[in-house]
Amino acid sequence: MNVVAISGASGAILGIRLLEELRGEAYLIISKNAEKIIEYETGYSVDEVKRMAKRVYNNDDLSADIASGTTKFDSLIIAPCSTTTLSKIACGIGDNLITRVASIALKERRKLIIVPRETPLSPVVLKRMYELSSMGALILPPEPAFYLKPKKIEDVVNYIVGKILDHLGVEHELYSPYEP
């Protein structure tokens, strides 16, 4: 099972498109600020987003089953990931369900895909990203592939979600490969 987490960074649509592509077969955690950003940035309500998941967890619920390493999940994808959540994970802080599940992914050597959104990046965050990458997490910034000549934001979103699905081993047709 894939766990999708939407934290309080800009780009909530990335997590939403990912949920759509996983077709109801994902668990979902949304942070408090992410709920506000979903309503502010996207045409979706938080309830609509929650209905896209097989199961929804409260980010404050540190006694949820997935807060334990004994509960099996295949991967955690944090899309988008705030620099706060990213930095906490790198430091081993598990003070909410998203950061706790991330710490489990690291200790149990499960897949951890982090889609950080911020610009510019401070030395603090760059250092934390490097540390997480060295620990086995995949840092996948939501940057457009300009050479694919995206025409609209949906093209960029599909490309990024396609890259996430590539790493999950899920077939998709969200972007066409580069053709010289």
Give the interface with ligand FMN as residue ranges (CB under 6 A). Answer: 7-10, 31, 33-34, 36-37, 40, 82-85, 117-118
Identify which of residues 141 and 177 has a Cβ nearer to ligand FMN in the complex. 141
Burial 94-124 (b: 16+ CB within 10 A, else e): bebbbbbbbbbbbeeebbbbbbbbbeeeeee
* Closer CB to ligand FMN, 40 or 147, in the complex: 40
Closer to ligand FMN at the Cβ: 88 or 110?
Answer: 88
Strand pairing category for 2-6 and 138-139: unpaired
Shortest distance in whole angstroms from residue 82 CB to ligand FMN: 3
Q: How far is the CB of 79 from ligand FMN (least distance, A)?
A: 12
User: Between 25 and 100, whose beta carbon lies closer to ligand FMN?
Assistant: 100
Shortest Cβ distance from residue 3 to ligand FMN (Å)?
15
Distances (CA, A) of 119 to 10, 46, 90, 125: 11, 26, 19, 11
- The least distance separating ligand FMN from the CB of residue 112, rounded to whole angstroms, comes to 15
Residue type, 132: L
Provide, for the chain, the percentages of residues in helix, strand and coil under a 3-state DSSP scheme, each rounded to the nearest 5: 45, 15, 40
Closer to ligand FMN by CB, 42 or 148: give it.
Answer: 42
Closest separation in Å from C-beta 93 to ligand FMN = 11
- Overall residue count recorded for the chain in this entry: 180
Distance from C-alpha of 79 to C-alpha of 9, rounded to nearest angstrom: 9
